[in-house]
Structure 1
Amino acid sequence: MDSVLPFIIGVVVIVIGLALSIGLHEIGHLVPAKLFGVKVTQYMIGFGPTLWSRRKGETEYGVKAIPLGGYISMIGMFPPAKGERVRSDSTGFFQGLVQDARDSSTESITPGDEHRAFYRLPVWKRIIIMIGGPLMNLVLAVALLGVLFVGFGVPQSSTTVGSVNECVLPATSERQVCAPGDPAAPGAEAGVRPGDRIVSIDGVAIESWQQSTEIIRAHPNEELAMVVDRDGAEIALTITPALSERYALENGEAVTDASGEPLTVEAGFVGIAAATERVAQPVTAVFPAVGENVAAVAGIILNLPQRMVDVANAAFGPGERDPNGPISVVGVGRVAGEIAAIDEIPVIDKAAGLIGILASLNIALFVFNLIPLLPLDGGHIAGALWEAIRRGFARLARRPDPGPVDLAKLMPLTLAVVVVLGGMSLLLIYADIVKPIALF
């Protein structure tokens, strides 16, 4: 019961943070739309039944029951069809979708506001309006990662000993608990204690944990002089690293073979592990981190079909979920709740974890909404760019202006995209309930 309340708090923080992110995303559309004179009739956070709304001027602002999205309603999203209007009841289902979209767009234009229709804007203005939402999420991600990196700092191994092993076990050992007959760990034998800060080894001043590890691994079965700082006093110790099977390292990272399995080597081992501490990063570290996150999300999206197959196999079979794979809002909330409920980590680490999740969500919203498919923002941007290209070629060829691109013709494809996205969302939600990603 003690962990239930923190779990709920973690979920609530993420839900509120997601709702704010969506709300600011829509503001990224709303502000330039109003600046460019487009009539905006609605600004809504969420979908489904309206919980609260208030009209200010010509725009209704409100909150709906399901906080999993949002939208603004601009008049005249699609241009009228060229030539004679075709009756929707005399055509097929897909043509009916196209005509319904045109009719809805036309009906949204009140008399006297024809010049304020979205489709009448120059291409560059339409692009600014549609890209404003994703860019708002990118700005939020940069701000959140800035708080995380510069304010909270990034966990790094310090030169302080965090734990001391009792015995020597090979790196590949399936057993993690010492048993009678196991050789004692050299660190424990030498008198190293948790909390000791390593000052020097073999006369070399220690500035990083990786440096101390490299020295120890390179001197198996050799006595080494070690100086530690214990409660402000320097204490001299003598330690003899044992020759043991360890994972091969390069620049502090494990080395793997062609199949991805870690390689092992015989190296010196004393059985001590580093304590971590948060180290504030420079502002210049924020943008590379944002770029890495954007690339990671883009990689997931590019490989989404295979990723979803993997999710389905895990959800309906014995396989485990990929911790770096796609996850639904339900899964994100569950991870946030688990982070908040862990008693063993300090509050600062819990707060940093939740901020990191919100930053990742905003990066995901940024990348996902730029996919060049309707009804996503990227679909409208792609349509505007195609219109600019088409009109440019017409000018070069001295042909008549072809006019605006009729995106209403893509309504059948839009419906297919909505159905596919809905199906993937349901699969992810189901997988996050029956086979959640195990992060801890």
Structure 2
Amino acid sequence: MLAYIGGVALFALGICLSVALHEAGHMVTARAFGMKVRRFFVGYGPTVFSFRRGGVEYGLKWIPLGGFCDIAGMTALDEVTPEESPKAMWRFKTWKRTVVMSAGSITHFILGFVVLYLMAVTMGLPNTNPSTDPVIATTSCARSAVTADQASNPTCAPGDPKPAAAAGLLAGDKVLSVGGKPTPTWSDMLSTVQASSGPTAFQILRNGQTLTLTVDIPKVQRLATDGKVKDVGMIGASAASQPSLIGYGPIDAVGGTLSFTGTMFTETWQRIVEFPSRMPAVVESIFGAERDPNTPVSVLGASRIGGEAVERGLWEIFLLLLASLNFFMGMFNLLPLLPMDGGHIAVVWYERIRDWFRKVRGKVAAGPVDYTKLSAVTLVLVVIGGGITLLTVAADIVNPIRLP
């Protein structure tokens, strides 16, 4: 229990640190461009302490849920002092404002990459493309199995034939062809063997040498996936298992991490696209339906899963979940919806494109967008976001997702 509580706290701390660094990304880039940063605080609520340095107030608040960065003049409607006016954010070039507003998401992406890189050089990264090469792990017997119980019982009876072993097939042999038919994957070899019978030529690769062995394939009765019993060829051999994690050295870990990061980006985007369609299942789970493990979770739910991972010593799951949440927060925050950073970026580029068209038509720039006209849309999105948060938190309390 102590390990579980510690894991929950550690995961929650990791998320809070990620959000605080998100805001730090805004602050660092804003100051680098010469914008006026007023405050940078970690947490929300009453102030624990604060100090001023370089014209910026830094501090810590009691509620450790993220943080905020106050940049003067993020929009032209924001009130600024005469001293702040020359350094107001809205006065800067479009590309500079874009960099500042996207810096938070970029920070999430960097954090996710760093977590994955550390995994790569320590415990390894998940094997996303396990080899399907027809490499033999062990040899056994060819036996009939006409029921589910018999199919799940690997025990050989006395007298059961052992075609693979009798022909001289060994663990580590890679089957290149069966009966002259190439077998690039284990499933290809399996289907070819099942359709064969009697003495059949197997071309194999062993220790770099190509050999040809003759296997006498018997027909046995096996229970198929459709529930029917069929006569199939069988040689009595199992496939070599593939590692679940692939380790890397410090140099090749860079390429491995980049590749795996690309995979996670694709999966994260797919989750974002599926997000609305999965919310009804979240609501149903609150009222007793079985919780779909693919439904969205809140920070609370993710922290509980992180706690279970630590309790079981599954640190790879803990770190993968932390990295994936950073990727999710980074991508979600870039969606062109207010009040997220992506919404502000969309407004900035709308102004730029609109004014370009006006210039082509010989007109003067129209000036900054009036954010008050977007307040209704922003309010709706805030309410929807708050509702989603409440639903996921409720589901994570009454019907949480658990590790299998």
Q: Shorter-normalised TM-score: what interval?
A: 0.7 to 0.9
Distance across 1 between alignment mates of 2:356 and 2:228: 57
For residues 210-229 of structure 1, what are the structure 2 equivalents within 5 Å? 215=189, 218-219=192-193
Aligned position for 1:55: 52
Q: Which consecutive residues of structure 1, in runs of 5 or more, have no partner in the other structure?
A: 81-104, 205-209, 228-237, 249-261
What is the aligned residue count?
A: 374
For residues 201-212 of structure 1, what are the structure 2 equivalents within 5 Å? none
CA distance 1:427–1:404, change in 2 (3 Å): same
CA distance 1:69–1:216, change in 2 (3 Å): same
1:326 aligns with 2:296: yes
Q: Deviation digits for residues 269-300 of structure 1, max 9, x if unmatched?
A: 75857555332365434334323322332233
Output the amino acid matched with 1:9.
Answer: G
Does structure 2 retain, via aligned residues, the 8 Å contact 1:17–1:358? yes
1:280 aligns with 2:253: no
1:34 Cα deviation (Å)?
0.7
Farther-moved stretch of structure 1 (274-283 vs 23-32): 274-283
Output the amino acid matched with 1:122.
Answer: K
Does structure 1 retain, via aligned residues, the 8 Å contact 2:125–2:247? yes
CA distance 1:223–1:279, change in 2 (3 Å): farther
Aligned position for 1:234: none
Distance across 1 between alignment mates of 2:25 and 2:57: 17
Distance across 2 between alignment mates of 1:330 and 1:263: 46
CA distance 1:382–1:213, change in 2 (3 Å): closer
1:61 Cα deviation (Å)?
1.9
Aligned position for 2:25: 28
1:29 Cα deviation (Å)?
0.6
Distance across 2 between alignment mates of 1:70 and 1:187: 68
Give the one of 353, 358, 368 matched to 2:322: 358
Distance across 2 between alignment mates of 1:139 and 1:358: 12
Output the amino acid matched with 1:335.
Answer: I
Distance across 1 between alignment mates of 2:161 and 2:60: 60
Q: Deviation digits for residues 357-403 of structure 1, max 9, x if unmatched?
A: 11101100111100111211001100100110111112111112211
Farther-moved stretch of structure 1 (122-131 vs 310-319): 310-319
Does structure 2 retain, via aligned residues, the 8 Å contact 1:148–1:154? no
1:329 Cα deviation (Å)?
0.9
1:199 aligns with 2:172: yes
For residues 56-135 of structure 1, what are the structure 2 equivalents within 5 Å? 56-80=53-77, 105-106=78-79, 109-135=80-106
1:418 aligns with 2:382: yes
CA distance 1:61–1:160, change in 2 (3 Å): farther
1:146 Cα deviation (Å)?
2.9
Farther-moved stretch of structure 1 (370-379 vs 113-122): 113-122
CA distance 1:286–1:56, change in 2 (3 Å): same
CA distance 1:355–1:319, change in 2 (3 Å): closer
SS of aligned partner of 1:146: helix
Q: Deviation digits for residues 250-273 of structure 1, max 9, x if unmatched?
A: xxxxxxxxxxxx999875675857
1:244 Cα deviation (Å)?
2.6
SS of aligned partner of 1:303: helix
1:419 Cα deviation (Å)?
1.4
Distance across 2 between alignment mates of 1:415 and 1:315: 26
CA distance 1:390–1:217, change in 2 (3 Å): closer
Q: Deviation digits for residues 29-66 of structure 1, max 9, x if unmatched?
A: 11111122221111123333334433323222233344
Give the one of 240, 254, 269 matched to 1:298: 269
CA distance 1:357–1:198, change in 2 (3 Å): same
Aligned position for 1:436: 400
1:15 Cα deviation (Å)?
1.8
Does structure 2 retain, via aligned residues, the 8 Å contact 1:247–1:264? no
Q: Deviation digits for residues 218-258 of structure 1, max 9, x if unmatched?
A: 44587999x9xxxxxxxxxx99885533559xxxxxxxxxx
Distance across 2 between alignment mates of 1:53 and 1:169: 73
1:310 Cα deviation (Å)?
2.1
Aligned position for 2:107: 136
Aligned position for 2:364: 400
1:355 Cα deviation (Å)?
1.7
Farther-moved stretch of structure 1 (216-225 vs 20-29): 216-225
1:216 Cα deviation (Å)?
5.6
Output the amino acid matched with 1:423.
Answer: G
RMSD: 4.3
Distance across 1 between alignment mates of 2:229 and 2:43: 52
Distance across 2 between alignment mates of 1:399 and 1:40: 34
Give the one of 299, 304, 307 matched to 1:337: 307
Aligned position for 1:154: 126
Distance across 1 between alignment mates of 2:161 and 2:13: 48
1:129 Cα deviation (Å)?
0.6
Does structure 2 retain, via aligned residues, the 8 Å contact 1:10–1:339? yes
1:149 Cα deviation (Å)?
3.9
Does structure 1 retain, via aligned residues, the 8 Å contact 2:48–2:62? yes
Distance across 2 between alignment mates of 1:6 and 1:264: 49
Q: TM-score, normalised by structure 2?
A: 0.76
Does structure 2 retain, via aligned residues, the 8 Å contact 1:246–1:267? no
Distance across 1 between alignment mates of 2:341 and 2:286: 31
Paired-residue identity, %: 32
1:302 Cα deviation (Å)?
2.8
1:145 aligns with 2:123: no
Distance across 2 between alignment mates of 1:223 and 1:6: 58
Aligned position for 1:385: 349
1:351 Cα deviation (Å)?
2.5
Q: TM-score, normalised by structure 1?
A: 0.70
Aligned position for 1:10: 7
CA distance 1:319–1:115, change in 2 (3 Å): same
SS of aligned partner of 2:59: strand
